Copies of this chain bind each other. A is one copy, B any other.
């Protein structure tokens, strides 16, 4: 009856199957407006169902307005339901899985060595944090982030970077990108311009642009952003910089430029967005003091735990000037409300027990050794044909090959040959100035993988 066939082994209740079958017929017009449905008794008999099942299905249809019913009269199809258009198939854009490749060398940037992460310790922290989660923590606990974590973070910033920060000025984020997103939302709500280093991390630039900011390039050299090129302008809301280890070229901005940058921001009434993405891994001296410490009222300081722990943790932080804190809270509330509680609580324990300090110390040693292996291998393989930029900190460096030109085609050809890397040019805003530089991420590679990788790269560069 009605052409309906139910599947008793389908794992979905029969009343629901029946409801859906009738609903679907009403929607496509097979059962027309005003048409009477069979009585529950008839339909139950025809489909070998209990009458109760049919009644339940009919009740659902009635509740949702697919049918109308007056007492004593048969149930009829309600008016105005049939849809004219046939729906577009949702499966048109099925994802094409990329072919599995033999990777000879993976020099991609921004990858910490997850093999070294103390997984077991982390599991204990999570377990500990989950066990003490109370009802308050399970509810909405506020857009600024868990107070315990902010307190531990302030203590950690003091002992690891010499930063004196009030926990009340720290705002937990879901990572650095999200910090940029919120900064952009605040600074460029009604349009406006951000000055950005050129070259500059493409993902971060996109984060600004996707939130409505125009990004105007300012060239960098081996000391980061060339502050002497800054000129007064209208509508400049922020300057996005990576002064501790410029991404991607690795310059460390000297104090005079930092001071010039602050004076410029003061004069323009703009904010400095300081992205300190990997300065915890610095291979000589102590971590460079952030610009934030020089001008806390002018700087939105963006930090991340993606390098020190693991990217899928999704916890970062921002230190936000008092003048922007209300707006930050507001933007966060209407974007994603707050971070999940569990990672925040576990990270607080990780910091409090200083186990994260120990992990960081260990990784700085390991990454430092790898950096040496990479610079040595490059010197051995290329000699004077290769000049190294920005190896003072972080997990990557830039290798300049004067006279060579590495374009998108080169990078793609490399990829097809199993050598994964990016060019500095990829991150350039104004194209054509950095075509002779390759970016080599090494943090996630063992010394052996680095040596092999440089060998492969040499073969490939010579072949070209």
Q: Can you list 18 residue pairs at the A/B interface with Cβ under 8 Å?
A: A11-B159, A12-B159, A15-B286, A27-B259, A27-B294, A63-B288, A65-B253, A82-B259, A83-B266, A87-B295, A87-B296, A87-B298, A127-B127, A175-B336, A181-B334, A206-B334, A312-B340, A314-B340
User: 4 tightest A-B contacts by CB?
Assistant: A65-B254, A312-B341, A138-B310, A65-B255
Determine whether the beta carbon of B337 is less than 8 Å from that of A314: yes
Q: Which residues of B contact A166 (CB under 8 A)?
A: 90-91
Interface contact A285-B321, CB-CB below 8 Å: no
Tell me the A residues contacting B by CB distance below 8 Å: 11-12, 15-16, 19-20, 23, 26-27, 56, 59-60, 63-66, 78-85, 87-95, 111, 114-115, 117, 119, 122-123, 126-127, 130-131, 133, 135, 137-141, 158-159, 162, 166, 168-169, 174-175, 177-178, 181, 185, 203, 206-207, 209-212, 223, 252-260, 262-263, 266, 284-286, 288-289, 294-298, 310-315, 321-323, 325-326, 330-331, 333-343
Known A81-B255, A123-B130; 12 more pairs at CB < 8 Å: A19-B286, A56-B285, A64-B289, A65-B256, A87-B298, A90-B297, A114-B139, A123-B127, A185-B210, A203-B333, A315-B340, A340-B340
Contact B314 A266, beta carbon cutoff 8 Å: no
Cβ-neighbour of A285 out of B23, B63, B141, B162 (below 8 A): B63
> In the complex where A83-B262, A337-B177 touch, is A311 in contact with B91 (Cβ < 8 A)?
no
User: Which residues of the partner chain B approach A91 to less than 8 Å between Cβ atoms?
Assistant: 166, 168, 322
